[in-house]
Amino acid sequence: MSHGSGKLLVINNLYKAFGGETVLKGISLEVSRGETVAVIGPSGSGKSTLLRCVTMLETVDSGDIIVDGKTMTGNDENGKAVYSDKKQLKAIRLNCGLVFQNFNLFPHLSVMQNITEAPMSVLGLDKDRARETARALLLKMGLSGKEDSYPCQLSGGQQQRVSIARAMALNPQILFFDEPTSALDPELTGEILKAIRGLAAEKMTMVIVTHEMNFARDAADRVIFMDEGVIVEQGPAREVINNPKSERTRAFLSRVE
Amino acid sequence: MSKEAIVVLIKNMLEASAVTLEVFFLTLLFSLPLGLLFASLRMSKYKFIELLVRFYLLIMRGTPLILQLIFFYFLPSQLFGYGHGLPRFWAAILAFSLNYAAYFAEIYRGGIQSVPVGQHEAAAVLGLSKSRTFFKIILPQVVKNILPSMGNEFMTLVKDTALAQTIGVMEIFRLANSSASTNFSTLPIFVAGLFYLIMNSVVSNAFSFVGKKLDYYH
């Protein structure tokens, strides 16, 4: 149920270091409900780390992360990150879906079992409800009839679509994608981008880390360019990609195109 | 050997193989869970515990099982000054269990660590609890990973039971040995070999069967 026009995701001055190296240097950004945001940038720019911090696969050193008005982490008097209690974090976790570059499907479970596992064991849905939802998602992803297949029997593109369905099964308010097409052969990239476009058309709020510039330009509302742990530039997708304001953005785009 | 002697031999072998099987199953009963305990302690975040367990694993895997058998048999008399050690059978179970637990611990640890970290991350992101993640997602994959190694260990254990004769446990090998010298014949040795072979065939087939069942995915 949407709660009006508040920002769905607010990140404020995020810092994250691994060992001695600072990977996120004061990242601040907001994502509105229904927006599709593409995050682009060179390897090592911190894009994946940013996603992993927001989905709680990593803990931040300092800064605020607020999802749908609920605080995930904030600073204490010394500027060190303090996370909310387990209950709040769990609620936030269920509101954020993540699609991995390597799919990370559970290989010993069928497609249906992969998708219904979390709704049943975490949300407590009964089997029939969970399977119904799963079937609807599989239909949306163009995978009807694959419910009893195992991941090893599917192509990369099909596996990634199952991944998307699995993330969506918990009905998250915001979906994160960590380079969803990078592990796929070029021919299979299209089916994923098509699936994501479908979600964008339904106004699903999404943050997509990607190397696909054309896709970022055409499917995203806003593009964020990150480099060396900072946001260098952000703005409407077409503007940033076609007419970048910063020299660094221009340099990156010319290298990639 | 005479026909009567052979019949007596077979009859005694069957009785002795009951002892062999007892040693086999009791060892597994204790060492399989004990190995899991050591594996988790081995992966403890407390350096002290990790080092202690690694030392234990080194000793148990680095010294001959036969020495460990003799050690545990005589240990109580060394410690408490009894006239005799533990009952032979239970000294054997103790030594075997501690020894095999060490091997299982390392096999479990390898199996657990070879499950890709992405599996843990996917489960975490979906909100699965730690125990649900372990039992529903990780453990099944570990079992499939470690099956071949475990099969090896089980078959080795069947054969290692013969070492129990060192501390006087009346199992197949001891029987075969004494029968061979009493009858001046190598036949008992072959008969013993046959018994071990039959037992290990069952183990081998059992593991093959489970392996095939788990082969529905890759």
Determine the structural domain holding residue A186 and report its residue range: 9-256
The DSSP annotation for A140-184 comes to HTT-TT-TT--GGGS-HHHHHHHHHHHHHTT--SEEEEESTTTTS
The residue of chain B nearest to residue A123, with distances taken between CA atoms, is: B127
Predicted confidence (pLDDT) at residue B99 exceeds the cutoff of 50: yes
Mutate to test the interface with A, among B120, B121, B126, B135 (most CBs of A within 10 A): B126
More confident residue, B75 or B175: B175
Asked if residue A152 belongs to a domain, the reply is yes
pLDDT tens readout for residues A7-65: 899 999 999 999 989 999 999 999 999 999 999 999 889 999 999 999 999 999 999 99
pLDDT tens readout for residues A174-185: 999 999 999 998
CATH assignment at residue A42: 3.40.50.300
Nearest to B118 among A56, A104, A170 (CB): A104
CB B44 within 8 A of CB B50: yes
Instruction: Give the pairing type, strands A36-40 and A222-227.
Output: parallel
Orientation of helix B139-160 relative to helix B88-113, angle to 10°: 150
pLDDT for A4 equals 47
pLDDT band at A206 (very low <50, low <70, confident <90, very high): very high
Predicted confidence (pLDDT) at residue B1 exceeds the cutoff of 80: no
pLDDT for A77 equals 87
pLDDT for B5 equals 85
Asked if residue A3 belongs to a domain, the reply is no
Which residues from chain B sit within 8 angstroms of residue A94, using beta carbons? Answer: 127
Q: State the DSSP H helix or E strand holding residue A37, giving kind and residue range, or none if neither.
A: strand A36-40
What pTM was estimated for this model as a whole? 0.88
CB B28 within 8 A of CB B157: yes
d(C-alpha A218, C-alpha A162), whole Å: 24
The residue of chain A nearest to residue B131, with distances taken between CA atoms, is: A121
pLDDT for B168 equals 83
Contacts of B153 (CB under 8 A, 6+ apart): B100, B103, B104, B107
More confident residue, A133 or B10: A133
Closest CA to A219 of A181, A248, A170, A167: A181
pLDDT band at B145 (very low <50, low <70, confident <90, very high): very high
**Alpha-carbon Rg for chain B in angstroms:** 21
Q: Do B217 and A55 touch (CB under 8 A)?
A: no
pLDDT tens readout for residues A237-247: 999 999 999 99
Orientation of helix B3-42 relative to helix B187-213, angle to 10°: 40
pLDDT for B108 equals 96
> For residue A101, how many other CB atoms are within 10 A of its CB?
18
Min CA distance, A223 vs chain B (Å)? 25
Domain B3-216 has CATH 3.40.50.300: no
Q: What is the mean pLDDT of chain A?
A: 93
Contacts of A166 (CB under 8 A, 6+ apart): A105, A114, A115, A118, B126
Asked if residue A1 belongs to a domain, the reply is no
- Is the ipTM higher than 0.90? The answer is yes
pLDDT band at B83 (very low <50, low <70, confident <90, very high): low
The residue of chain A nearest to residue B129, with distances taken between CA atoms, is: A122
pLDDT for B170 equals 85
pLDDT band at A3 (very low <50, low <70, confident <90, very high): very low
Predicted confidence (pLDDT) at residue A257 exceeds the cutoff of 70: no
Which residues from chain A sit within 8 angstroms of residue B137, using beta carbons? Answer: 106
* Average pLDDT for A64-68: 94
* Average pLDDT for A187-200: 91
Nearest to A122 among B119, B126, B218 (CB): B126
Closest CA to B116 of A105, A162, A93, A158: A105
d(C-alpha A27, C-alpha A231), whole Å: 7
Enumerate the β-bridge partners of residue A36: A206
Give chain A's domain count. Answer: 1
Asked if residue A4 belongs to a domain, the reply is no
pLDDT band at B169 (very low <50, low <70, confident <90, very high): confident
Predicted confidence (pLDDT) at residue A95 exceeds the cutoff of 70: yes
pLDDT for A41 equals 94
pLDDT tens readout for residues B102-124: 999 999 999 999 999 999 999 99
**Residue contacts between A and B (CB atoms, under 8 Å):** 57
pLDDT band at A166 (very low <50, low <70, confident <90, very high): very high
> For residue A18, how many other CB atoms are within 10 A of its CB?
11
Q: What is the mean pLDDT of chain B?
A: 92
Q: Do B144 and A108 touch (CB under 8 A)?
A: yes
> How many contiguous H segments (helices) and E segments (strands) does chain A have?
9, 11
